[in-house]
Amino acid sequence: FSDAGCNEELETIENIEQWWQIPIQASRGSIILWFPSTIHSAASVVRTLEPTPSDPWRGWRGVVYVCLRPKCDFSENEMQRLESCMTENNGTNHWGTHVVNAAGERNHQTQYNAAIEDLIEDSTRVYDVLGWKPGNREFEINCAQKQIAPEEL
């Protein structure tokens, strides 16, 4: 949605006498968990903050959405595609069924900082910046469940 599109939607639902959206104000580094059936969206930037030499990331917002689905929902080909997403630092839609890469689907009207442009052109460079690379099948959460006795709680 563009801001104009959001405003049109807002006008449509403002007459509803119930809360249609409750903002969650989250501070830097927060994690927010919700059920996948919850309708959710991001808010537009309220104000623009320019980067400074001492804080090149000032004003930058980053959000990572993580979807948890049972492994049995995926074929081996889909699992290999998810592995490739981790290796190449690409994302997927909420269900892990469509690959989205930074360079392929972007708003070319947006002006990016040169450092961000470099990362968009080769998203694997993020791993160099972080000093970390994902391991084999790191996207899987399939550890054995430990039974906890009541006295251990």
The answer to whether position 105 is within a domain reads yes
Task: Detail the DSSP E strand segments found in the chain.
Answer: 91-92, 99-100
pLDDT tens for 70-106 read 888 889 999 999 999 989 998 888 778 888 876 665 6
Residues 6 or more apart in contact with residue 94 via CB below 8 angstroms:
36, 65, 67
Please report whether residue 5 resides in a domain.
no
Amino acid at 98: H
Q: Which residue has the higher pLDDT, 107 or 53?
A: 53
Flag whether 25 is in a domain.
no
**Is 107 part of any domain?**
yes
Query: Model confidence over 4-39: pLDDT tens digits?
Result: 667 777 777 777 766 666 778 788 788 888 776 677
pLDDT grade, residue 109 (50/70/90)? low
Amino acid identity, position 54: S
Residue 114 domain-assigned (yes or no): yes
Q: Which amino acid is at 50?
A: E
Give the list of residues 6+ apart from residue 34 with CB closer than 8 angstroms, or none.
Answer: 40
Domain total in the chain: 1
In this structure, is residue 20 part of a structural domain? no
Structural domain for 124, as ranges: 30-37+47-142
Establish if 23 belongs to a structural domain: no
- The predicted pLDDT at position 107 comes to 62
pTM for the full model?
0.57
| Contact between 66 and 135 (Cβ < 8 Å) | no
The verdict on residue 17 lying in a domain is no
